[in-house]
Chain A
Amino acid sequence: MFESVEEVQQRFRDARYIANRRISTVIFLAARMGRPVLIEGPAGVGKTELAKTLSDVTGRALIRLQCYEGLDEGKALYEWQYAKQLLYTQLLRERIGELIADAPSLPEAVSRIAGQDDAFFSYRFLSPRPLLQAIRSEEPVVLLIDEIDKAEPEFEAFLLEVLSDFQVSIPELGTVKSRHIPLVVLTSNNARELSDGLKRRCLHLFIDFPVPADELEIIRLKVPEAPERLARAVVAAVQKIRTLELRKPPSVSESIDWARSLVILNAKELDPVLVESTLTMLVKYEKDIERVKGALDKVLAGTPA
């Protein structure tokens, strides 16, 4: 898939994702070793985006499983559609009657119905959910398990089982084994500690806020219409705001949004009034906004005015 770490970096870049050395190394290793990647980091640094880009770059379909509290196997793996099965049985009652009409004895009738098992226990009555989709897929895929920390620990244990051999057994149908090992990406916002087992199984990648040079690169890529001068000013300001000990420091996606809105407002450079009026794009809590406003001189100091 990838020949070298440099190739990963280049191809991600071509797909408009700035992957630093660390990210590319981990992706390279994941592809080489067939290991899931567990990505942790603050919200909005591009964890989910990384999986999407990976699917773009490799040309594999992306299958996404969004985790939430109360997610269970039925919603993640497959669901057996009893209602549909029941309906079919009822509709076909006559046909079934015909089938066993001339059976000489009860055991004979039972074995005739048993002979038709395949008709009633087939994929027809199974609605596959993301995990089963990924396993059954004919083509290799990228499986994104988003915000795994939102699901319960029990689900994590179940997931561990699936991720370790990529096969599941469905009581009605038997064991399904995957043809290709999917590239698995798990993301976590660290709402709770994940189990050791899962961490051990995965390659661990911590994505932090990017360094200024990388962030500038990202802004240039994502908001190409922003003048260079503005882009630089935005990055400098955002980097300074992040040092202010806020409740929720602005993430990369927020700085992109901010840059976009500044472009729409036709700004060529940053000035205090403009920053103050667009600050809500960047900082989302009342207290944080107050704090940034208080330190506005510091934030804008040194930016090309």
Chain B
Amino acid sequence: MEERILEFIGDLRRAELRISTAEALDALAASAEVGLTDRETFKATLASTLVKEARDEDTFNRIFNLYFLDLEALGEGLKKALGPEDPKVQDQLDRLANEENLDLDELTELLMRGQGSEMEMAIRSGSQNAGLERLMYFLQVGFFSRRISDQFDWSAIERDIERIMQALEARGLDPGQLARIRNYLELRLEAFRRMIRQHVQRELERRAYRAGERLTREVLADKPLFALTPDEVAQMKNVVAKLARRIKDALALRQRQEHKGRIDTRRTTRKSLSYGGVPMEIFLKRRHREKPKLITICDVSDSVRNASRFMLQLVWSLQECFSRVRSYVFVSEIAEVTQAFSLHPVERAIEWALKGAPVDYHCRSDFGFAFSRFANTELESLDRKTTILLLGDARNNYNDPQAWALRQIRERVKGIIWLNPEGQWGWGIGDSVMPLYAPACDIVRECRTIGQLGEVVDHLVYQWWRRGR
């Protein structure tokens, strides 16, 4: 069982749960304490030692079900396969096994009175040399089932059954009873064969799941955003949520600054009174960490639709994390969407921002116009704590870029960060005016893939906001 648990932990790790060796050892020690009798208890044991984040619970549950069978359900299934319970037959068989030394094959013993769980264990050990690691396609299920069943000595079982029947006949059972017992044993044999096939199928599922997870992460992280299908976009939702969470966590860490800063004379003097005027304890003034203000401006024109979708998702999550986020979208007209984003759940908010916001979606994107409008109306509300996060490809359709507007905005804020979903090679070619805007920005990053978005977020968290502390 330990191996099974370790293998399980390996899969959890592959699914991006961080599990240390110490935790793995804990899991083993803890499961030894509670045993395997109760599935719920066993599950709770593994969960409490391995899963330390509530958000990983779903992954855990999913993988757990692939690994550890619901034996009760299995028992039920077996019972159903066997038809109505036949205690009389079982009784006969038990008596026979107890009274006569038939020297049966192990598997026959199992067939005579084994539980579902024991059968499962037998299949598992039988499958050890079957080369299941090469199992990849559904068509192989039959082949591997056969390979596993080849591990068992079926002719010995047939022989054993014959011997059992003879022994029973010798005891003087009437033909009707004999037929019933034979039927019972054959049904169990059939159920066992079916269990082998089920085992292989589950193994396939587990493998497919494992490969799928890896594929999702590795391939999608490097796939350009514009090339993602709607399905893939949905799959990447968790990734974006994690990114937002990372920003939140980094900023929510309230750093204690006890060993830095100016002396708080008032508190120090007050406390010194209890030591006869000697300043035994020194108090320092706490510096208040500025809370970052964030303004996001997102191009929602058709050319960057997929990228905006991600960006809006990030914006939405950010807005949930911080009180001071304001969000804007534009094509050429610019509009604030903060209110709508805080009211609606993420899906609806994004759909709305991409289709229903009060901007004209049918015109061509015009960054210059949007920036000049923004500068005219919002300039007053900007301050040095504000960071502006811009998403757009800077393809201005040969309109006036009005770079002065962006420079003017830059003068009022802490900084401007521009994320461009287009590859760097394209900047400045054709109608791209990125080089004109770049000087006004503090950071300009290519942001074509989710992987790159992750890097940007890391940069923001570890350099950008840290700097201004």
Is A248 among interface residues, defined by CB-CB distance under 8 A?
Answer: no
Whether B30 and A33, one on each chain, are in contact in the complex, defined by CB atoms closer than 8 angstroms, is yes
Q: What's the least CB distance linking A22 to chain B, in Å? A: 4
Residues of B within 8 Å of A25, CB to CB, are 34, 40-41, 44-45, 48
Q: A172 contacts the other chain (Cβ, under 8 Å)?
A: no
A191 CB contacts on chain B under 8 angstroms: 252
**Beta-carbon contact of B275 and A82 below 8 Å:** yes
As a 0/1 sequence over residues 195 to 225 of chain B, the CB contacts with chain A under 8 angstroms (1 = contact) are: 0000000000000000000000000000000
The distance in angstroms between the C-alpha atoms of A204 and B22, with both chains bound, is 14
Cross-chain contact of A153 among B30, B34, B253, B280 (Cβ < 8 A): B253
Q: Which of A121-129, A192-200, A223-231 contacts B (4 or more CB under 8 A)?
A: A192-200
Closest to A70 in B: B256
A152 touches B256 (CB 8 A): yes
B338 contacts the other chain (Cβ, under 8 Å)? no
What distance in Å separates the Cβ of B271 from its nearest Cβ neighbour in chain A? 10
Q: Which residues of A contact B44 (CB under 8 A)?
A: 21-22, 25-26
Interchain CB contact under 8 A, B254 and A152 = yes
Q: How many residue-residue contacts, CB under 8 A, span A and B?
A: 80
Alpha-carbon distance between A40 and B34 when the two chains are bound, in angstroms: 23
A87 to chain B, nearest CB (A): 9
Which residues B48-62 have CB closer than 8 A to chain A?
A: 48-49, 51-54, 57
Complex partner residue of A199 from B47, B52, B274, CB under 8 angstroms? B52
Known: A21-B41, A200-B20. A29 touches B52 (CB 8 A): no
Q: Is the CB of A69 within 8 A of B30?
A: no
Residues 17-43 of B at the A interface (beta carbon under 8 Å): 18, 20, 22-23, 26, 29-30, 33-34, 38, 40-41
A202 and B26 CA atoms in complex are apart in Å by: 10
What are the residues of chain A within 8 A of B40 when measuring CB–CB?
A: 21-22, 25
The residues of B that contact A289 with a CB separation of less than 8 Å are: none
| B48 lies within 8 A of A204 (CB) | yes
**B49, B51, B258, B275 interface centre (most CB from chain A within 10 Å):** B49
Q: Is B276 an interface residue (CB 8 A)?
A: yes
User: Is B255 interfacial (CB-CB < 8 Å)?
Assistant: yes
A5 to B48, Cβ gap below 8 A? no
B249 adjacent to chain A (CB < 8 Å): yes
Q: Chain B residues with Cβ under 8 A from A33's Cβ?
A: 26, 29-30, 33
Q: Measured between C-beta atoms, what is the minimum distance from A23 to chain B in Å?
A: 8
- For the complex formed, measure the closest distance between the CB of B130 and the CB atoms of chain A, giving whole angstroms: 34
B52 near A193 with CB under 8 A, answer: no
Complex contact A205–B33 (CB within 8 A): no
Asked if A204 contacts B276 (CB within 8 A), the reply is: no
CA distance A35 to B22 in the complex (A): 13
| Residue B345, interface by CB 8 Å | yes
Q: Is the CB of B48 within 8 A of A192?
A: no
Q: Shortest beta-carbon distance, B267 to chain A, in Å?
A: 13
Q: When A5-B41, A28-B34, A29-B34 are in contact, do A40 and B54 touch as well, CB less than 8 Å? A: yes
Q: How far is it, in angstroms, between the C-alpha of A192 and the C-alpha of B253 when the chains are bound?
A: 7
CB < 8 Å: which of B52, B254, B256 contacts A204? B52
**Chain A interface residue count: which class?**
20 to 34
B18:A196 contact, CB within 8 angstroms:
yes
| Contact residues in B for A29 (Cβ distance below 8 Å) | 30, 33-34, 45, 48-49
Name the contact of B275 in the complex, choosing from A35, A70, A86, A192 (C-beta under 8 A).
A86
* Contact A152–B54 (Cβ < 8 Å): no
Q: How far is the CA of A225 from the CA of B40 in the complex (A)?
A: 33
Residues of A with C-beta under 8 A to B255: 152-153
Contact B23 A200 (CB under 8 A): yes
Residues of B within 8 A of A205 (CB): 48
Find chain B residues with CB under 8 A from A152 CB.
254-256
Provide the A79-109 mask, 1 if CB < 8 A to any CB of B, else 0.
Answer: 0001100100000000000000000000000
Q: Is residue A154 contacting chain B, with contact meaning CB distance below 8 A?
A: yes
Type the 1/0 row for A24-53, where 1 means its CB is closer than 8 Å to any CB of B.
Answer: 011011001101001010000000000000
Complex interface: chain B residues within 8 A of A192 (CB):
249, 252-254
Whether B48 lies near A203 (C-beta < 8 A) is yes
Bound Cα distance A5, B30 (Å):
12
Q: Closest CB of chain B to A234's CB: distance in Å? A: 27
Chain A residue nearest to B245 (CB atoms) is A193
In chain A between 181 and 231, which residues have their CB closer than 8 angstroms to a CB of chain B?
190-193, 196, 199-200, 202-206
Shortest CB-to-CB span from A127 to chain B, Å, is: 14
A205–B47 Cα distance when bound, in Å, is 8
Candidates B23, B29, B47, B52; contact of A22 at CB < 8 Å: B47
Task: Confirm or deny: A286 has a beta carbon within 8 angstroms of a beta carbon on chain B.
Answer: no
Tell me how far the C-beta of B242 lies from the nearest C-beta in chain A, rounded to whole angstroms. 12
Smallest distance from the beta carbon of B463 to chain A beta carbons, Å? Answer: 20
Partner of A154, one of B45, B48, B49, B256: B256
Asked whether any CB of chain B lies closer than 8 Å to the CB of A118, the reply is no
Q: Which residue of B lies closest to A71 (CB)?
A: B256
Which of A241-276 touch B at CB < 8 Å?
A: 245
CB neighbours of A72 from chain B (8 A): 258
A35–B44 Cα distance when bound, in Å, is 15
Q: Write the chain B residue with the least CB distance to A81.
A: B274
In whole angstroms, what is the CA distance A156 to B22 when docked? 19
Q: Which residues of A contact B57 (CB under 8 A)?
A: 206
- Provide the residues of chain B in CB contact with A154, threshold 8 Å: 256
Query: B274: which A residues are within 8 A, CB to CB?
Result: 83
A5–B38 CA distance with the chains assembled, in angstroms: 10
Q: Complex formed: what's the CA distance from A70 to B345 in Å?
A: 35
A200, A202, A245: the one contacting B345 at CB < 8 Å is A245
Please pick, from A22, A200, A206, the residue contacting B22 in the complex, using a CB distance under 8 A: A200
Q: List 9 A-B contacts (CB under 8 A).
A: A29-B34, A33-B33, A152-B256, A153-B253, A192-B254, A199-B52, A200-B20, A203-B49, A206-B57
> Which B residues have a C-beta under 8 Å from some C-beta of A?
18, 20, 22-23, 26, 29-30, 33-34, 38, 40-41, 44-45, 47-49, 51-54, 57, 249, 252-256, 258, 274-276, 280, 345
Q: Other than the known A21-B41, A22-B48, what 15 A-B pairs have Cβ atoms closer than 8 Å?
A: A21-B44, A22-B40, A25-B40, A28-B34, A82-B275, A86-B276, A152-B255, A192-B254, A193-B249, A199-B52, A200-B22, A200-B52, A203-B49, A204-B51, A205-B48
Which A residues form the contact surface with B (CB < 8 A)?
5, 21-22, 25-26, 28-29, 32-33, 35, 38, 40, 69-70, 72, 82-83, 86, 152-154, 190-193, 196, 199-200, 202-206, 245
Q: Which 5 A-B pairs have the closest CB atoms?
A: A25-B44, A199-B52, A22-B44, A193-B249, A203-B48
